[in-house]
Structure 1
Amino acid sequence: MLFMLTGWTTSLVFAFIVYTLVVSFGNPGKALCVLIMVMQITGAGGAFPVAMLPEFFQNVHPFLPATHAVDAFRSAIAGIYGNDYWISMGRLLAFVLPMLLLGLVLRKPLISFNAKSIATLSKTKVLG
């Protein structure tokens, strides 16, 4: 059951992050989501131990949501030691707070910025 709870929570948090960035920034938000995804694949510690990663990824590691999702999945699979599962889940859910701030508070001031960037992008005719 913990594995399923982790999967549901992880998918909701990641969907929330992607939706907020795309709604707030438009096409640049999509690019930012791809950049975050690529960094998480390498830096979350799911494929290689963090100690074996380059120093940049070791420094970024704690600030990636996938890090805490991987830790929660490991705890759900291998067993909980102390409160490590719940701490990982809490840290994962903490990524929702800045997205709420961005989506609910900062989105309105960003609308004019988005309009300007879309107008500039359409002039280049790069995206059709």
Structure 2
Amino acid sequence: MSKSTATQARPVSPHLQIYRFTPTMAMSILHRITGAALYFGILLFALWLLAAASSREWFDFINGLFGSIIGRIVIFGYSWVLIHHMLGGIRHLIWDTIHGLEKQTSRNIAIANLVGSILLTLVLWICAWAIRGGL
């Protein structure tokens, strides 16, 4: 092995305190969090399917849990997670085509991702509520 002839220490990568927090960074972090949350939601969906395949009593019990206030909040949150993660994936697909990589454009797309996910979740629940006939 040869000896290094460098006279200065190699630069160290900047730590998180060096970077300014941006919407693109926030959406990247949120995309990872929503991806992890999807695993939890899939477990709930699998539990519901398992209950549907078993007895009527078990299915009624699980439906009762999901129909409670806390259950509806969890399902509402899961629907937002699903929509937000989907829009984040579309954002990444756009970037894969080498479009929207400019600083301001990527910032606008990141903000649109958050706003769009909230609006689409509300539209989904309003439509579901209208179809179902209220509470």
Larger radius of gyration: 2
Question: What TM-score does the superposition give when structure 1 sets the normalisation length?
Answer: 0.31
More helix by share: 1
